[in-house]
Amino acid sequence: MRVAFLGLGIMGSRMAANLVAAGHELSVWTRTEGKAAAWAVDLPAGDHPVPTVHDTPASAADGAEIVLAMVVDGQQVLALAEGLAADGGEGAGRLLVDMSTIGPESARAAATVIEATGWSFMDAPVTGSSPKAADGTLTIMAGGAEADFDRVRPLLDVMGALVLHVGGVGQGQMVKLINNAVAAANATALAQALLVAKATGADLDALVQVMGAGSGGSTMLNLKAGPMREHDYSTLFKLEHMLKDVRLCLEEGERAGVGFPAAAAAREVLNAAMGRGLADADFAALLEPLEGLAGIRL
């Protein structure tokens, strides 16, 4: 399939590499000059079409039936939609699938812009950090027309192990935001539990084993207990991106008149971690302000 991939960050670079390995013909663009060319050079050798590197999103999208975007925020997605709408002319039969996490409101705004010129639009955010992006086992939740989902499904199946159509445009975003808000709340609770154990002299190894075997277990326990105890914040998912997702979730809840106190508490911890200069660290670094508050270190 002739595909354009826009955005080659921590996640996008790995997702695009899987599409290349699966034999799809990719044209790529990313915001940082020289990054796309370096990515293409570093791809493993194999019997697959060589990706073409472009200087602009419109150039990359030229001739592509499906355009995938994996960028940082709603403002960037809207700019891409506006650029493709302006430079691509009538887009009948063409599909823009945004895989970033930008919130339902931004997704619908981008859809309005690009659909005015005949394009179709889907939001298909992903969950799972860079290792899952690398091995093609992401969870992908897609919002938009079912016919468009069927068109892009072969690509999504290359990148994800669980691929779901969850409703109209914006609903993929909403499912993703709620999921990440729960993840942030779980990670915050885990950090606090470890600190209470440390302060009271409990055996941390035993605690982690007991929690993992019972109702205290969670994906966050499995993923983040070790890095938190070792203060290893090697970035799998940036703290600033987790904060963005939690904020967006809270904003949507407020619009609906429903509070999310656990997510609100996680937001404050993430904000405090941002104040410590940890924006680019893995979100396991939310431990740091909690350690400061407790006056102890794991």
Of the candidates 172, 159, 166, the residue with the CA atom closest to the CA atom of residue 102 = 172
Q: Cα(194)–Cα(259) distance, rounded to whole angstroms?
A: 27
Quote the radius of gyration of the chain (alpha carbons, Å). 20
- In the three-class reduction of DSSP (H, G, I as helix; E, B as strand; rest coil), residue 208 is classed as helix
Q: Cα(175)–Cα(282) distance, rounded to whole angstroms?
A: 22
Catalytically annotated residue among 35, 132, 176, 244: 176
Q: Cα(58)–Cα(36) distance, rounded to whole angstroms?
A: 15
Q: Which two tokens stand for residue 289?
A: 């302000």
The neighbour count for residue 92, using CB atoms within 10 Å, is: 9
Q: Which residues contact 257 (CB under 8 A, 6 or more apart)?
A: none
Whether residue 126 contacts residue 18, with contact meaning beta carbons closer than 8 Å, is answered with no
Q: Which residues contact 255 (CB under 8 A, 6 or more apart)?
A: none
Q: Cα(237)–Cα(10) distance, rounded to whole angstroms?
A: 8
132 a catalytic residue: no
Is 297 buried (19+), middle (13-18) or exposed (0-12) by CB count in 10 A?
exposed
Q: Cα(171)–Cα(148) distance, rounded to whole angstroms?
A: 15
Burial readout 133-152 (b: 16 or more C-beta within 10 A, e: otherwise): bbebebbbbbbbeeebbebb
Q: Cα(275)–Cα(272) distance, rounded to whole angstroms?
A: 5
Q: Which two tokens stand for residue 87?
A: 């430079």
Annotated active-site positions, please? 176
